[in-house]
């Protein structure tokens, strides 16, 4: 398996900030050619988080870029860490706002790159990234076709108060009731109606309780939204006992999301392009 090409760029976002962006590109991609590739946004977006760095790693995104010839993007926008206190504190008292706006805005920019298939764009995230994924799909209209939320926080009033109140204050009318309401994914469930959506959670998750997904399931059902739900019995936040099944399930969902790919002009089976058929 050839290693993906790695490209790091900066994209201007609202407020005069620059989002840090890293792209894992298929090994055989040539920017001067006319081929286009599906794009998957891997999102975290938690306060103080950082995905784009010089740290070396091999993960599912590496596999998707190398073996499946998908472009995998990671974006550190407003609220992310290690880019100064001003950018970091843009999220204060408003989780689910500016960090989501930046993920959508930068993906719109990436969509216009000549090697990106603008009709095949997905997003996925885990924990806070699962929350961000659902919020992105709920706020986006035309960029993303599908998304995968893994163990997401869906209602901050039901999440760990030590973590939540650090960034959001308290959910009462004298503090930040409005912020909690606007960051509640269950209140936006109807907006996922035209998206393909996969929700994954383990019943023994002590980091993000399974209740969080059940609340979203109830909201989606009440709104008549069709979706997929993958439950792992007795699994915790990391799915340590079902890793293979978990990643295969997500890969299968992406195949359904993107549909058949047109390989007529692509060199199938070469050292650069080894497509799944």
Active-site residue set = 127, 205, 237
Burial of 219 (0-12, 13-18, 19+ CB in 10 A): buried
| 60-to-133, 219, 228, 229 alpha-carbon distances in Å | 17, 30, 21, 20
Q: Is the Cα dihedral 129, 91, 74, 38 positive or negative?
A: positive
Q: Dihedral through CA 228, CA 49, CA 190, CA 151, nearest 10?
A: 30
Residue 122 CA to residue 196 CA, distance in Å, equals: 9
């Amino acid at each position: 398996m050839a290693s993906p090409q790695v490209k790091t760029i900066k994209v201007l976002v609202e407020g005069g900030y620059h989002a840090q962006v890293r792209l894992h590109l298929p090994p055989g991609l040539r920017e001067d050619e006319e081929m286009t590739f599906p794009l998957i946004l891997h999102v975290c977006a938690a306060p103080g988080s950082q995905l784009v760095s010089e740290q070396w790693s091999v993960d599912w995104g590496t596999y998707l870029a190398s073996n499946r010839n998908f472009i995998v993007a990671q974006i550190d926008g407003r609220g992310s860490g290690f880019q100064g206190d001003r950018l970091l504190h843009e999220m204060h008292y408003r989780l689910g706002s500016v960090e989501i706006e930046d993920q959508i805005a930068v993906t719109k920019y990436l969509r216009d790159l000549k090697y990106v298939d603008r009709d095949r764009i997905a997003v996925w995230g885990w924990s806070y990234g699962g929350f961000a994924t659902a919020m992105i799909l709920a706020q986006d209209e035309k960029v993303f076709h599908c998304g995968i939320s893994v163990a997401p926080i869906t209602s901050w009033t039901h999440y760990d108060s030590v973590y939540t109140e650090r960034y959001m204050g308290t959910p009462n009318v004298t503090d930040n009731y409005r912020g909690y309401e606007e960051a509640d994914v269950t209140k936006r469930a109807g907006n996922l109606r035209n998206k393909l959506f996969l929700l994954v959670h383990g019943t023994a998750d002590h980091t993000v309780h399974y209740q969080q997904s059940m609340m979203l399931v109830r909201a989606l059902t009440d709104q008549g939204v069709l979706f997929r739900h993958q439950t792992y019995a007795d699994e915790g936040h990391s799915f340590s006992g079902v890793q293979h099944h978990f990643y295969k399930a997500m890969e299968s969902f992406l195949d359904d999301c993107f549909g058949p790919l047109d390989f007529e002009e692509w060199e199938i089976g070469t050292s650069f392009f080894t497509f799944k058929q």
